[in-house]
Chains A and B, each alone.
Chain A
Amino acid sequence: MSRMRGLVLLVVVALGMALVPATGGQAQGEKPTVAIGSKDFTEQVLVNEMMAQLLEDAGYQVDRKLNLGGTALVHEALVSGEIDLYVEYTGTGLLAILNLEIPDVSGTPTAGGTPTATTLEDTVYEIVKNEYKEQFNLVWLEPLGFNNTYALAMRQEHAEELGVTKISDLIGKSNDLVFGGTQEFLVRPDGLPGLTATYEGLEFGEERGMDPGLLYQALDNGDVDVISAFATDGRIPALGLVTLEDDRGFFPPYFAAPVVRQELLDQDPAIADVLNKLAGQIDDQTMAQLNLQVDQERKEPQDVVRAFLQERGLISES
């Protein structure tokens, strides 16, 4: 009896082993399942949810791994193949991942070479595109259109009271101020360490790291005086906050674009076309408005994304 059971078990296991590679491997003409990641803040969840819904509408299976963590963590997940794509920002790729400097585009392009991009945003995009391909075999698709640069934000009346409109105005006053930032911003080279090096003399009385979701509440409550904010965060106008002008041009452009593993595009090149439907579709105001719908109006990211994509005619009504 038990021998019989053993035999059945053996057959089942053998069958299973024979079947696993057949279903797990990529059969000809079958669409691959795409694993999509995101960092741990609203905008990231939204734009990567857009990628997911576009692909699903085109008939792909999507494995959502949203809200994974900070930049480096999500990037590592992409490099190691645990996810296939996520939306990254050009400036983040340049400074936080590639550890490169912001290029100087003020001079004229060198004569004799190929025609080079002249604006800073194009130059940064070209650099990250080429370096990512070379170093990680990752592909930058077309930018979505908005520039989510870092900004320092304060309560409007507090900024007015101190007479602060630009970051350099904080020098000499910052010792009495409490800075709040994400833990990532406190250590990133294009975060607080680089900022205080560029704006010499800028040193906050206290630095507090916290969850990204709490920053605005903390500033609004007066627990902190200055925060690291995102330019496309709809809560800045909604809560009566102001951003300070980056008068020394420390922050690079942070244009958002999908970054995809080359292996996935090799399997199915049509994926690039599906994702590029969003190219140039979202400007700063639109993104801020979408973020606000989640952060203030408490709508579900999936619903906000579906309504937006349907309104733009990018996915079918269902």
Chain B
Amino acid sequence: MRVRGEALDFITYIRENRERFTELLIQHLELTVYSVLLAVLIAVPLAILASRVELLAKPLTWLGAIGQTIPSLAILALTLGWLGIGFRPSLVALTIRAVLPIFLNTYVGIRNADRSVIDAARGMGTSGAQLLFLVELPLASPVLFAGIQTATVQTVGLATLAAYIGGGGLGDLILQGLAMVDYPILLAGAIPVALLAIAAELLLGGLRRLVIPAGLQTEGR
């Protein structure tokens, strides 16, 4: 296919349209950060609940797995009927998407926490809350954190779909470049998204090292 412009012209495009690019970048970051934070607030309590009430564990896991099989675009379309177009439906759709990896990792992390440590803690007379916050969650934290990392990297990419429903973000540039077969515009959206995903992975990897108790940092990543 004949294409307009040289591939590297995307840098020129970003320079010449700095204001618009910055605006879209900020929208993209907002979509990603808010939806992951919301997903953590929803997924972690749910996972704790599931680890406490055995009856709920299966249905919740199933629900999450079913949610994960619905295509992201379909979730966008479904939230559209309810919330209209723009930022909010995009945020809701991305949050739904990010909940499962965090939920599953938290649940598995708590369930797989070393039983002998928990028994020892119980033997020392810790209360339920102490057990959760001082023993179980710290033990689950490496797996939990990996879930957040997965969810974030995934959300950075999926946030490009917001461009279909007026949610903004860097997906706007990708769709505009596609509509015009203009590679500089397309790449001005696509390359920063890829870089953002890598940056998110590295940043959260660093944060993981700071947050997780030293004794648990066995497996390198």
Return B178 CB to nearest CB of chain A, in Å: 6
Judged by a CB distance under 8 angstroms, whether A59 is at the interface is no
Bound complex: CA of A162 vs CA of B2, how far in Å?
Answer: 46
Binary CB contact string for chain B from 1 to 15 against chain A (1 if under 8 A, 0 otherwise): 111100000000000
**Most central of A75, A184, A211, A224 by chain B CB within 10 Å:** A211
Question: Of the 9-residue stretches B114-122, B134-142, B180-188, B213-221, which lies at the interface with chain A?
Answer: B180-188
Judged by a CB distance under 8 angstroms, whether B109 is at the interface is no
Judged by a CB distance under 8 angstroms, whether B163 is at the interface is yes
The answer to whether A73 touches B166, judged by C-beta atoms less than 8 angstroms apart, is: no
Which chain A residue shows the least CB distance to B4? A72
Which chain B residue shows the least CB distance to A186? B176
Judged by a CB distance under 8 angstroms, whether A208 is at the interface is yes
Bound complex: CA of A202 vs CA of B221, how far in Å?
Answer: 53
The answer to whether B172 touches A209, judged by C-beta atoms less than 8 angstroms apart, is: yes
Bound complex: CA of A182 vs CA of B178, how far in Å?
Answer: 12
Bound complex: CA of A199 vs CA of B85, how far in Å?
Answer: 27
Question: In A253-297, which residues have CB < 8 Å from any B CB?
Answer: none
The answer to whether B2 touches A184, judged by C-beta atoms less than 8 angstroms apart, is: no
The answer to whether B179 touches A184, judged by C-beta atoms less than 8 angstroms apart, is: yes
Point out the residue from B1, B86, B163, B166 that lies within 8 Å of A80, measured CB to CB: B1
Give the interface SS of chain B, mostly helix, strand, loop or mixed. mixed
A210-B166, A218-B166 given; A73·B85 CB < 8 A: no
The answer to whether A223 touches B166, judged by C-beta atoms less than 8 angstroms apart, is: yes
A80-B1, A183-B172, A223-B86 given; A210·B165 CB < 8 A: yes
The answer to whether B179 touches A224, judged by C-beta atoms less than 8 angstroms apart, is: no
The answer to whether A210 touches B176, judged by C-beta atoms less than 8 angstroms apart, is: no
Bound complex: CA of A184 vs CA of B164, how far in Å?
Answer: 12
Judged by a CB distance under 8 angstroms, whether B192 is at the interface is no
Please indicate the chain B residues that have their CB under 8 angstroms from the CB of A71 in the complex: 179-180
Point out the residue from A75, A79, A183, A218 that lies within 8 Å of B84, measured CB to CB: A218
Bound complex: CA of A208 vs CA of B181, how far in Å?
Answer: 20
Point out the residue from B1, B2, B85, B178 that lies within 8 Å of A210, measured CB to CB: B85
Which chain B residue shows the least CB distance to A74? B181
Point out the residue from B86, B164, B178, B180 that lies within 8 Å of A211, measured CB to CB: B164
The answer to whether B86 touches A208, judged by C-beta atoms less than 8 angstroms apart, is: yes
Bound complex: CA of A208 vs CA of B87, how far in Å?
Answer: 10
Point out the residue from A72, A79, A209, A218 that lies within 8 Å of B163, measured CB to CB: A209
Binary CB contact string for chain B from 153 to 184 against chain A (1 if under 8 A, 0 otherwise): 00000000001111010001001101111100
The answer to whether A214 touches B85, judged by C-beta atoms less than 8 angstroms apart, is: yes
Judged by a CB distance under 8 angstroms, whether A69 is at the interface is yes
Point out the residue from B3, B165, B176 that lies within 8 Å of A187, measured CB to CB: B176
Please indicate the chain B residues that have their CB under 8 angstroms from the CB of A69 in the complex: 178-179
Judged by a CB distance under 8 angstroms, whether A145 is at the interface is no
Please indicate the chain B residues that have their CB under 8 angstroms from the CB of A221 in the complex: 84-85
Bound complex: CA of A171 vs CA of B164, how far in Å?
Answer: 28
The answer to whether B178 touches A209, judged by C-beta atoms less than 8 angstroms apart, is: no
Bound complex: CA of A188 vs CA of B176, how far in Å?
Answer: 9
Judged by a CB distance under 8 angstroms, whether A70 is at the interface is yes
Judged by a CB distance under 8 angstroms, whether A93 is at the interface is no
Bound complex: CA of A180 vs CA of B166, how far in Å?
Answer: 8
Question: In A27-72, which residues have CB < 8 Å from any B CB?
Answer: 69-72
The answer to whether B185 touches A70, judged by C-beta atoms less than 8 angstroms apart, is: no
Judged by a CB distance under 8 angstroms, whether A76 is at the interface is yes
Judged by a CB distance under 8 angstroms, whether B80 is at the interface is yes
Return B21 CB to nearest CB of chain A, in Å: 13
Return B114 CB to nearest CB of chain A, in Å: 50
Return A80 CB to nearest CB of chain B, in Å: 6
Please indicate the chain B residues that have their CB under 8 angstroms from the CB of A223 in the complex: 84-86, 166
Known pairs A70-B179, A76-B1, A218-B85; list 15 more (Cβ under 8 Å).
A70-B180, A72-B4, A72-B179, A72-B182, A73-B178, A75-B181, A76-B3, A183-B178, A187-B182, A209-B163, A209-B172, A209-B175, A210-B85, A214-B166, A218-B166
A residues near B (Cβ < 8 Å) are 69-73, 75-76, 79-80, 180, 182-184, 186-188, 208-211, 214, 217-218, 221, 223-224
14 interchain pairs, CB-CB under 8 A: A70-B180, A71-B179, A73-B181, A183-B172, A183-B175, A183-B176, A183-B179, A187-B176, A209-B172, A210-B165, A214-B164, A218-B85, A218-B166, A221-B85
